[in-house]
Amino acid sequence: MVDEQRIQQFRQMAEADPENELGQFSLGKALVDAGQFDESVTPLTRAIDLNSRMSKAYQLLGEALRKTSQNEKAVEVMKKGITIADELGDRMPRDAMVALMKEWGEDVPELSDKPTMSASPTGGAPSGDGFQCARCGRPNGRLAKPPFKGELGGKIAEHVCDGCWREWIPTGTKVINELGLVLSSQAGQDAYDQYMVEFLQLDRV
Ligand SMILES: [Zn+2]
């Protein structure tokens, strides 16, 4: 899907249900992906207001603020995001934020363990098969089998850990209920799949 179509779709969802954090997050992320940083600030801020534990949202908001020359605010958001991601064990966004802060020449808050960007992963026993969860970056906890049939189910089994998959399930239910998605329709199924892909960060694998 081209950027503008994605943005349009997520904008509709965010407007239809302003209390849905994933709707706001997805809109913000689509805007960042399209280089529309100015516009992404509002939905990303809103996503964090709705769910202060959304670590990836801090990363995107920090980047957007920096791109729009709001450096002080960017650093503030990143520090908070790093601390939260560290507490939650969301290594991927945490290490990405640490790397950005270093690039900007800013101090990084103290972490519970070393960032895993280096060649030898620390923390958690590596599974030995090169698995790394696309969402949280954990090297273990791979799903035993695809959670459902089809290409997307296979992709999830390959790239998503058990913990992240379990986190998606109640979120997915919320998405269906709050947006009134009809899964028997192709449009409803497509929208649901898209939320799942965004949530599990499968768009970059
Ligand atoms: Zn995970």
Domain borders along the chain are 1-121, 128-205
- Reply yes or no on whether the pLDDT at 8 is more than 80: yes
Superfamily (CATH H level) for 128-205? Fe(II) trafficking protein YggX (1.10.3880.10)
175-188 mean pLDDT:
82
Would you state the pLDDT for residue 193? 92
Residue 110 Cα to ligand 1 middle (Å): 22
Residue 72 Cα to ligand 1 middle (Å): 31
Residue 70 Cα to ligand 1 middle (Å): 31
Ligand 1 is an ion; its neighbours by CB within 5 Å are: 133, 135-136, 161, 164
CATH 3.30.420.80 applies to domain 1-121:
no
Residue 131 Cα to ligand 1 middle (Å): 11
Does the global pTM surpass 0.75? no
Among the listed residues 106, 108, 202, the one whose alpha carbon sits nearest the alpha carbon of residue 158: 202
Q: What is the C-alpha separation between 56 and 54, in angstroms, rounded?
A: 6
Residue keyed to tokens 């991601």? 85
pLDDT, tens digit, 9 for 90 and up, residues 68-96: 999 999 999 999 999 999 988 888 889 99
- Reply yes or no on whether the pLDDT at 195 is more than 80: yes
Residue 188 Cα to ligand 1 middle (Å): 26
- Reply yes or no on whether the pLDDT at 124 is more than 80: no
